[in-house]
């Protein structure tokens, strides 16, 4: 049951963006360097296409470690606008959540006898977009697979917005669970960043 306080919170009362860890707080489009055409295209897709011109509700950003996936994704949620029902744009409310944190959240839901659907609903209740960061396939148990499916299916059914960063390709996801990869193929713009690991250069 909702508390009185929860009932009174509306989307205008909470911060625009939550969950960005300290290390990522400087990430933005302004300091994202376009390393060649692929990067230029990727930034444009995030900045304009996904933002204003898209009928797709997802963004899937793949590539090896250190190529700027999280940087681009954080820039995107900072820049994202939502067109309201009366046609006026407003800044999107976004939540960044590390994939492991999401899995823990659902794991804890079972322990506290909460429904998993309810937890996912709550994630979207105060946010227009979720950024699921660093989704991996290593140590993917059946339980995690099912929890990932629940989120992707909810997002798919409700035309909610999601941004996923991962070191894996959608074809690799398909080997685990075609229900997930098939929905992601349909609902996402797919961006693949390649190149040197920026972290090793610094």
Ligand X SMILES: Nc1ncnc2c1ncn2[C@@H]1O[C@H](COP(=O)(O)OP(=O)(O)O)[C@@H](O)[C@H]1O
Binding site for Mg ion (CB under 5 A): 70, 134
Nearer to ligand X, 19 or 122 (CB): 19
Contacts of 127 (CB under 8 A, 6+ apart): 18, 93, 94, 95
Rule CB under 6 A: say whether 19 interacts with ligand X: no
Q: Using the rule CB under 6 A, which residue among 69, 144, 161, 183 binds ligand X? A: 69
CA distance 157 to 140: 24
Decide which of ligand X, Mg ion, none touches 123; Cβ closer than 5 to 8 Å per partner kind.
Answer: none
Q: Which helix (H) or strand (E) holds 190?
A: strand 188-192
By the rule CB under 6 A, 173 interacts with ligand X: no
Minimum Å distance from CB 57 to ligand X? 22
Cα–Cα distance for residue pair 161/78, rounded to 1 Å: 14
- For ligand X, the closer CB: 60 or 156: 60
95 or 156: whose CB is closer to Mg ion? 95
Give a three-class secondary structure readout of 7-47.
Answer: HHCCCCCCCCEECCCHHHCCCCCCCCCCCCHHHHHHHHHHH
CB closer to ligand X out of 127 and 165: 165
Counting contacts by CB under 6 A, is residue 70 touching ligand X? yes
- Asked whether position 68 contacts ligand X by CB under 6 A, the answer is yes
Shortest distance, CB of residue 46 to ligand X, whole angstroms? 12
Is 100 or 134 the residue whose CB approaches Mg ion more closely?
134
The β-bridge partners of 192 are 62
Sole binder of ligand X in the list 15, 21, 36, 65 (CB under 6 A):
65
Burial category of 114 from C-beta neighbours within 10 Å (exposed 0-12, middle 13-18, buried 19 and up):
middle
Find all residues with CB under 8 Å of 71, minimum gap 6, and list them: 24, 27, 32
Interface size with ligand X, residues (CB under 6 A): 17
For the record, the structure tokens of 197 come out as 């690991």
The footprint of ligand X (CB under 6 A) covers 27, 31-33, 35, 39, 63, 65-71, 165, 198-199
């Amino acid at each position: 049951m909702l508390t009185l306080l929860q009932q009174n919170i509306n989307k205008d009362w909470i911060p625009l963006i939550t969950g960005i860890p300290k290390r990522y707080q400087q990430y933005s489009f302004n300091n994202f360097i376009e390393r060649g055409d692929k990067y230029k295209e990727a930034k444009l897709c995030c900045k304009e296409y996904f933002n204003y011109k898209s009928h797709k509700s997802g963004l899937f950003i793949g590539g090896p470690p250190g190529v700027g996936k999280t940087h681009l994704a954080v820039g995107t949620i900072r820049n994202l606008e939502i067109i309201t029902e009366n046609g006026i744009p407003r800044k999107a409310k976004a939540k960044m959540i590390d994939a492991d944190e999401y899995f823990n959240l659902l794991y804890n839901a079972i322990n506290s006898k909460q429904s998993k659907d309810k937890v996912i609903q709550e994630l979207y209740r105060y946010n227009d977009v979720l950024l699921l960061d660093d989704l991996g396939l290593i140590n993917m148990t059946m339980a995690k697979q099912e929890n990932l499916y629940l989120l992707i299916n909810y997002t798919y059914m409700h035309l909610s917005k999601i941004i996923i960063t991962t070191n894996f390709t959608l074809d690799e996801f398909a080997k685990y669970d075609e229900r997930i990869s098939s929905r992601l193929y349909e609902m996402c713009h797919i961006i693949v960043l390649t190149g040197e690991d920026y972290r090793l250069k610094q």
